[in-house]
Amino acid sequence: MKEVLQPDYVSKFACITSRCEDTCCRGWRVAIDQESYDKYINLMNTGDLFNGKITRDDIMQVEGAFAEVVLSDNTCPFLTEKKLCSIQEMYGESYLSLTCAIFPRNYNMVNGKLELTLNMSCPHAARLALLEPTPMKFSLAEIKDDPRIGKIPALDLSDPEYPNSVYPYFEEVRSFIVTLIQNRNYCFEDRLVILGRFCNDLNIADNRSGSDAVIRLINSYTHLIDNHGFDKFISSIPDQPTALLKTLMILIEYRLKTGVTGKRFLECFNQFKQGLNYTNEISDEDLSDSYKEVKSSCYDNFIKQNEYIFENYFVNYVFKELFPFGESKTIYNKDIFTVPKTIFTEYMLMAVHYAMIKNLLVGIAGYYKDQFGMQHVINLIQSFAKNIDHDVPYLQRLLKFFDDNQMINFACTAMLIKN
C-alpha cells in the first residue's frame, strides 16, 4: 500500500462505466507508452484486436508518448457498444496503457510524497469536486501500490534546475495560495486578482538572492488581505469586456479548427454564441450591450450564490498542476513553446482558464435564461477540461499568442479576470 495526500472528494469516486453521460474514449487522442505498446505488439499474433489500431506515425509530442491509438470517427476503436474497453475485457486491467489505467486520476510526486487529484474532464469527478459547498479539504489515504504510479510528474527540491530562492518554500507558498482562494471574505474574482499580484511579486523574488524574501512576501500579503489593503487597486481595474471577449473568441475558435473537438464542448460553444447573439459581424457596441445585459440578468446572481464552484475548481487546479511552479521536467515542446516558463506564465494560464470558463458560462446563461443551472455549469467545465485543459500544444500556443501581443503581465491578467 502507498500513502497519498488527496482531496476528500477523491475517496468517493469510482468509475460509473456505461452509466456515464460522456466517455473518456471519445473526443481526444490517446497516447500509448512504450511498455504498453510492446505488450500490444506481442499480442498481434494472437488475434486482430490491435491490427491497424496502433501507430507510431505523427504521434503527440508529449512526455511518455511512444505510440498512439488510431481513432475511428473521433473515437477509440477499442470502445465497445456498452462503452467499455475491449482491451480490459479480453486481457485485464494490467494491459491498459498508462493513460487509460490512471485516468481520471492525476498523480504527482512532491519531494518524495505522493499526491492525487482527479481531472475535471470526467463528468462524475467534476460533480464530486465542484458541487460541494464547503471548502475543499485534504486528507492522507492509502491506495494499492502500482508500479505505473512511478511514471508521473515530480517536483523535487533537490533538482538543480530549481532556483534555491523560491522552491524550498513550495509548501508555504501553496498553503498561502489555497488559503487565499478559499477566503470567502472576498468575491472569487478579487481573490484571483490578488493571487496575480502575489505571483508577479513571487516571480520577482524568484530572481533574488536571499530566500527569506518569500516568507516576507507571504507575511506581507497575509496582512494586506486581512486588512483589505487591495480594495482600492481592485476597484481601479478598467472595464473593457468587448475587446477581451473578442480575443477569447478568436482563441477558442482557433482551438476548434486545429484539434479534435468533442460534441459536448461544441454544443456549449454554440449555446454561448446564441446566448449573446454573437456573430462575426456584431459591432463592439452591440456585443458590449448584449454581454452586460445577459451577465447582469442571467449570470451574476447565480454565480454569486455558487462561487464555491470556481473555488473548488481552482483549488483542485493548484494541486493538480503543482501551481505555481509546475513539473520539474516540462512536457513543453521547445520548438513550439518559446516563452520562458516562469511562475507568472503559470498564473497567466490559470487566468486564461478562468476567463474562458466564466465568459462561456455568461453566454450559456443567456441561452438558458431562467433554466440555467448546475448541470449546465458541469457540462461546460467538464467539456472545457476535456478539450482545452488536456491539449498541451494548444496551451503552449495560447501563451505564445499572449507573449507575441505583449500581454503576459499583471495588468492584462487583471482585466481578463475582471471583465
Q: Among 418, 309, 419, 315, which residue's Cα sits nearest to residue 372?
A: 309
294 in a structural domain: yes
35 in a structural domain: yes
Indicate if the pLDDT at residue 319 is higher than 80. yes
135 in a structural domain: no
383 in a structural domain: yes
Q: Among 229, 168, 164, which residue's Cα sits nearest to residue 198?
A: 229
Length of the chain in terms of residues written: 419
115 in a structural domain: no
- The answer to whether residues 311 and 188 touch, using CB atoms and an 8 Å cutoff, is yes
- The answer to whether residues 124 and 20 touch, using CB atoms and an 8 Å cutoff, is yes
pLDDT value, residue 332? 45
Q: Among 96, 152, 126, which residue's Cα sits nearest to residue 328?
A: 152
Q: End of a domain among 102, 124, 146?
A: 102
pLDDT value, residue 176? 98
Cα atoms found within 13 Å of the Cα of residue 197, Cβ hemisphere only: 19
Give the domain range for residue 268. Answer: 234-418
pTM: 0.90
pLDDT value, residue 241? 67
Cα atoms found within 13 Å of the Cα of residue 248, Cβ hemisphere only: 29
User: Per-residue pLDDT averaged across 49-59, rounded?
Assistant: 85
117 in a structural domain: no
- The answer to whether residues 236 and 193 touch, using CB atoms and an 8 Å cutoff, is no
- β-bridge mates for residue 176, sequence order: none
How many distinct structural domains can be found in the chain? 2
Q: End of a domain among 102, 121, 150?
A: 102
Question: How many other C-beta atoms can be found within 10 angstroms of the C-beta atom of residue 258?
Answer: 12
User: What value does the mean pLDDT of the chain take?
Assistant: 87
Burial class of residue 148 (count of CB atoms within 10 Å of its CB; 0-12, 13-18, 19+): middle
200 in a structural domain: no
Percent of the chain with pLDDT over 90: 46
Q: End of a domain among 56, 81, 102?
A: 102
- The answer to whether residues 396 and 167 touch, using CB atoms and an 8 Å cutoff, is no
Q: Among 135, 143, 136, 105, which residue's Cα sits nearest to residue 8?
A: 136
